[in-house]
Amino acid sequence: QKEVEQDPGPLSVPEGAIVSLNCTYSNSAFQYFMWYRQYSRKGPELLMYTYSSGNKEDGRFTAQVDKSSKYISLFIRDSQPSDSATYLCAPTRGAQKLVFGQGTRLTINP
């Protein structure tokens, strides 16, 4: 069993929709949770960074962590075609070793 499970998609939604991206993890020692966005032929770009359980909002993006169920979510409101990318969840215990999910490929259709 992988430490981090993420549905690879692809996920296709119309412009303006609310997008929900999710990961589950097995290691209860994970304390820091990051979401990255990766465009084709580019490196991952840090979107959100949260510590422990709870919600964090940044513009149209909301990250949610539920440590009791080992469930991580990223919500995108008012989705735009420019949000089309691969989204990667990456928890860590505190060392600089990120454990990435497989990534979900998202397409926003105009």
Residues binding another protein (CB under 8 A): 31-32, 34, 36, 41-46, 49, 51, 88, 90, 92-103
CB of 8 to another protein, least distance (A): 9
Q: Between 51 and 71, name the residue whose CB sits nearer to another protein.
A: 51
CB of 95 to another protein, least distance (A): 5
As to burial, measured by CB atoms within 10 angstroms (0-12 exposed, 13-18 middle, 19+ buried), residue 35 is buried
Rounded to the nearest angstrom, the gap between the alpha carbon of residue 75 and the centroid of all alpha carbons in its chain is: 8
- Half-sphere exposure at residue 12, Cβ-oriented, CA atoms within 13 angstroms: 3
- The alpha carbon dihedral of 36, 32, 25, 27 has a sign of positive
Q: Between 8 and 81, name the residue whose CB sits nearer to another protein.
A: 8
- What is the helix (H) or strand (E) element at residue 23, kind and residue range? strand 19-25
CB of 58 to another protein, least distance (A): 13
d(CA 60, CA 44): 19
Q: Between 55 and 109, name the residue whose CB sits nearer to another protein.
A: 55
CB of 78 to another protein, least distance (A): 25
Q: Between 17 and 102, name the residue whose CB sits nearer to another protein.
A: 102
